[in-house]
């Protein structure tokens, strides 16, 4: 299934909307930025909170925890010791998912432990700079892939400002 992910560029916080290719709202992400931390709330189209995304403090790499029902559910972090290219790891209840590609240009892919491609993120498929396509293949937890895509966007955006 394909999703269109767009960031609200006029918001003070990091707010996103996720629509399907028919234009129907599927998810909303409400960002809360404070001086000490960054938290986002991933909600379904009815406003029900599915995940809380929060920056992990005291970490060697950029890391975010994805909480579900108040418990740690998954973690996204940069893979250590990857010469020449930067990769991310998504630790999930389903196993480790490696994320590879060009993160600054929003051109990356998700691979499961068997090296099967489970999702693609691409900004090139649409012309507007504040939107990109996330296509999820044979993976049941689409919201988790979308949450990880937003985290990577945040990490890369923050690094670009330094």
Note the pLDDT of residue 158.
Answer: 61
* Residue from 4, 6, 8 nearest 20 by CA: 4
The HSE-up count of residue 159 (CA atoms within 13 Å, CB side) is: 12
CA-derived radius of gyration, the chain: 15
CA angle 121–127–133, rounded 5-degree value = 20
Beta bridge partners of 68: 71
Range of the domain at 23: 2-161
CATH number, domain at 143? 2.40.160.200
Question: Residue 40 has which token pair?
Answer: 């986002």
Model pTM score: 0.88
Q: Where are the beta strands (DSSP E) in the chain?
A: 2-7, 16-20, 25-33, 38-44, 49-55, 63-68, 71-78, 88-92, 95-102, 107-111, 117-122, 131-136
Note the pLDDT of residue 160.
Answer: 46
Number of domains into which the chain is organized = 1
pLDDT tens by residue, the chain, 162 residues: 999 998 765 555 578 899 999 999 999 998 865 545 678 999 999 999 999 999 887 666 778 999 999 999 999 998 876 556 679 999 999 999 999 998 878 899 999 999 999 999 998 766 555 688 999 998 999 999 999 999 998 887 665 444
């Amino acid at each position: 299934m394909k999703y269109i992910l767009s960031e609200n560029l006029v918001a003070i916080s990091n707010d996103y909307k996720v629509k399907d290719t028919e234009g129907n709202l599927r998810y909303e992400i409400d960002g809360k930025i404070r001086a000490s931390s960054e938290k986002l709330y991933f909600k379904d189209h009815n406003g029900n909170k599915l995940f809380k995304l929060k920056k992990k403090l005291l970490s060697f790499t950029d890391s975010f925890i994805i909480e579900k029902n108040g418990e740690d559910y998954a973690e996204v972090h940069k893979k250590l010791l990857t010469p020449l290219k930067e990769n991310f790891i998504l630790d999930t209840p389903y196993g480790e998912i490696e994320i590879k590609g060009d993160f600054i240009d929003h051109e990356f892919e998700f691979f499961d432990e068997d090296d099967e491609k489970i999702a693609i993120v691409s900004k090139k498929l649409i012309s507007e700079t504040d939107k990109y396509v996330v296509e999820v293949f044979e993976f049941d937890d689409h919201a988790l892939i979308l949450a990880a895509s937003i985290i990577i966007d945040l990490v890369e955006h923050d690094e670009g400002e330094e």
